[in-house]
């Protein structure tokens, strides 16, 4: 059998296009694999930003409640195994390789005896779904990769659909307006499904998906954020005529995403209690969620890697995510900001750079590996519209080496732009620590 490294090399080249949206290919192979998640509560989470941290809070709460849970997320930072978790642990190479082998075998004859070519993401999604199908789970949590309507995860009719946010991203695939993008994200919504919308003023193109048979929860109506009398952040949610309040003042991930997660968990536990009353009916998951607020973190999301100087890593790669980074930086005490940035071609580079320029940084624009990476000169051209202090570096490692020698202990080094940046940054820092 192939090693995981060999399988990943194969699936990267197995299809003619890196991104080839549509459900017909993956549906045929999934049918051959007899994937069935009917015995667990399935939650699908879509959105421009906030999917990962929303999923993480849901996952951590369920684990604290002794639920068995499978989580599929993307992309990964260190290794592919991060994409598929069972009960909080990354799935082993062996289990993934066995699943890939089954997918390869069934895809060879899935189209009336003819082979079907699958993209990297389709292979990864089928791998996760097959592993979850063969596990005894209470909950299956699926994070959408791109869009929603035509994303590979959408072959599963989830019990609960979640939309975390809508912003401009992946316009080449999803459209150039928020209405177009909302339509694509809302494609995960199915009739008779519970729906949670985690942002204000949802577009009509999304609302049109919600019908009378849906039970819908909206931020600003059914749950939201407020400040108490001492200006502490508090989240609230009303469910079955009961009002629950959550102290969010010590949260380490975005408060909006915590409340979206808690609203989702209300539906999850409602279904779990109906299915397995003896196991879950006495669990106070609201209290458990409250205890987890200051504990739950997310790799690559405003991740503090070092202090004096601060080195903070964030995968922000669009305007909305950049706005959140700027807001979080405002809470820090630092003298000067350096930004190390690398980005991909299909991102809104101009608006992202413009937003981050509010930090008045010195820019270090870096090349990233891979065909999707944009040239550092392109990023630098946008940065030069906002700053005179712009430099171009060949890679993230060289940018880190330069700025670590230049920055004072009171400065902030912000590393942003993509999951690839996160991977390159962590690899470079690990290499420095080992003295390689």
DSSP 223-292: EEEEE-TTS-EEEEEEETTEEEEEE-TT-SS-HHHHHHHHHHHHHHHHHHHHH-HHHHTT--HHHHHHHH
Q: Are residues 284 and 322 in the same domain?
A: no
Q: Are residues 114 and 157 in the same domain?
A: yes
Q: Tell me: pLDDT of 436 over 80.
A: no
At 127, which helix (H) or strand (E)? helix 120-133
Weakest mean pLDDT among 27-31, 303-307, 355-359: 303-307
Weakest mean pLDDT among 168-172, 243-247, 407-411: 168-172
**Residue of 249, 215, 216 lying closest to 234 (CA atoms):** 249
Which of 244, 263, 292 lies at the terminal end of a domain, its last residue?
Answer: 292
Alpha carbon distance 170, 146 (integer Å): 8
Contact in structure between 305 and 312 (CB atoms under 8 Å): yes
SS3 call for 79: coil
Q: Are residues 176 and 69 in the same domain?
A: yes
Q: Are residues 170 and 38 in the same domain?
A: yes
Q: Are residues 318 and 240 in the same domain?
A: no
Angle between helices 255-275 and 51-64 (to 10 degrees): 40
Q: Are residues 173 and 228 in the same domain?
A: yes
The predicted pLDDT at position 435 comes to 64
Output DSSP code: residue 343.
-
pLDDT for 62-109, tens place per residue?
A: 999 999 999 999 999 989 999 999 999 999 999 999 999 999 999 998
Q: Is 389 contained in some domain?
A: yes
Contact in structure between 146 and 346 (CB atoms under 8 Å): no
Q: Are residues 10 and 112 in the same domain?
A: yes
How many residues belong to the chain? 436
Q: Are residues 346 and 197 in the same domain?
A: no
Q: Is 80 contained in some domain?
A: yes
**Residue of 247, 198, 240 lying closest to 221 (CA atoms):** 198
The predicted pLDDT at position 249 comes to 92
pLDDT-derived band at 58 (thresholds 50, 70, 90) equals very high
Q: Is 316 contained in some domain?
A: yes
- Residue 406's domain comprises 303-434
Q: Is 297 contained in some domain?
A: no
pLDDT-derived band at 376 (thresholds 50, 70, 90) equals very high
Which of 232, 267, 292 lies at the terminal end of a domain, its last residue?
Answer: 292
Cα-based distances in Å from 247 to 70, 267, 335: 28, 21, 31
Q: How many domains does the chain have?
A: 2
Q: Are residues 214 and 75 in the same domain?
A: yes
Q: Is 298 contained in some domain?
A: no
pLDDT-derived band at 434 (thresholds 50, 70, 90) equals low
Q: Are residues 169 and 280 in the same domain?
A: yes
Q: Any idea what the CATH number is for the domain that residue 286 is in?
A: 3.40.1190.10
Q: Any idea what the CATH number is for the domain that residue 411 is in?
A: 3.90.190.20
Token pair of 281 as six digits: 């009916």
Alpha carbon distance 183, 177 (integer Å): 10
Query: Strand 41-46 relative to strand 160-163: parallel, antiparallel, unpaired?
Result: parallel
Q: Are residues 230 and 319 in the same domain?
A: no
């Amino acid at each position: 059998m192939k090693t995981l490294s060999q399988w990943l090399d194969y699936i990267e080249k197995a299809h003619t296009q890196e991104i080839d949206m549509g459900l017909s290919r993956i549906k045929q192979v999934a049918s051959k694999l007899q994937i069935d998640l009917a015995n667990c509560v399935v939650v699908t989470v879509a959105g421009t930003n906030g999917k990962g941290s929303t999923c993480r809070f849901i996952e951590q709460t369920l684990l604290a409640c002794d639920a068995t849970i499978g989580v599929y997320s993307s992309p990964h930072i260190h290794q592919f195994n991060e994409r598929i978790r069972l009960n909080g642990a990354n799935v082993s190479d062996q289990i993934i390789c066995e699943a890939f082998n089954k997918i390869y075998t069934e895809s060879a004859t899935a189209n009336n005896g003819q082979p079907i070519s699958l993209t990297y993401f389709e292979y990864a999604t089928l791998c996760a779904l097959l592993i979850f199908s063969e596990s005894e789970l209470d909950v299956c949590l699926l994070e959408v990769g791109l869009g929603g309507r035509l994303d590979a995860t959408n072959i599963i009719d989830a019990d609960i659909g979640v939309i975390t946010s809508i912003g401009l991203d992946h316009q080449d695939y999803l459209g150039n307006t928020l209405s177009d993008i909302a339509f694509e994200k809302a494609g995960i919504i199915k009739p008779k499904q519970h729906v949670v919308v985690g942002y204000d003023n949802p577009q009509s193109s999304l609302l049109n998906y919600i019908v009378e048979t849906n039970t819908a929860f909206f931020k600003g109506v059914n749950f939201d954020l407020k400040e108490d009398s001492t200006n502490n952040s508090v989240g609230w949610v009303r469910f079955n005529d009961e009002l629950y309040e959550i102290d969010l003042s010590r949260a380490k991930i975005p408060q909006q995403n915590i409340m979206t997660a808690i609203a989702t968990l209300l539906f999850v536990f409602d279904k779990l209690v109906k299915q397995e009353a003896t196991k879950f009916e006495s669990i106070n998951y609201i209290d458990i969620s409250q205890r987890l607020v200051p504990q739950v973190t997310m790799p690559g999301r405003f991740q503090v890697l070092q202090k004096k100087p601060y080195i903070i890593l964030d995968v922000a790669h669009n305007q909305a995510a950049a706005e959140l980074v700027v807001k979080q930086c405002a809470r820090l005490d630092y003298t000067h900001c350096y930004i190390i940035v690398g980005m991909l071609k299909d991102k809104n580079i101009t608006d992202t750079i413009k937003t981050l320029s509010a930090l008045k940084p010195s820019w270090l624009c870096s090349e990233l590996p891979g065909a999707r990476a944009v040239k550092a000169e392109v990023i630098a051209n946008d940065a030069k519209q906002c700053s005179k202090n712009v430099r171009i570096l060949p890679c993230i490692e060289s940018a880190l080496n330069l700025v670590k020698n230049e920055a004072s202990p009171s400065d902030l080094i912000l590393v942003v732009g993509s999951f690839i940046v996160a991977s390159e940054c962590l690899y470079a820092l690990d290499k420095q620590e080992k003295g390689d």
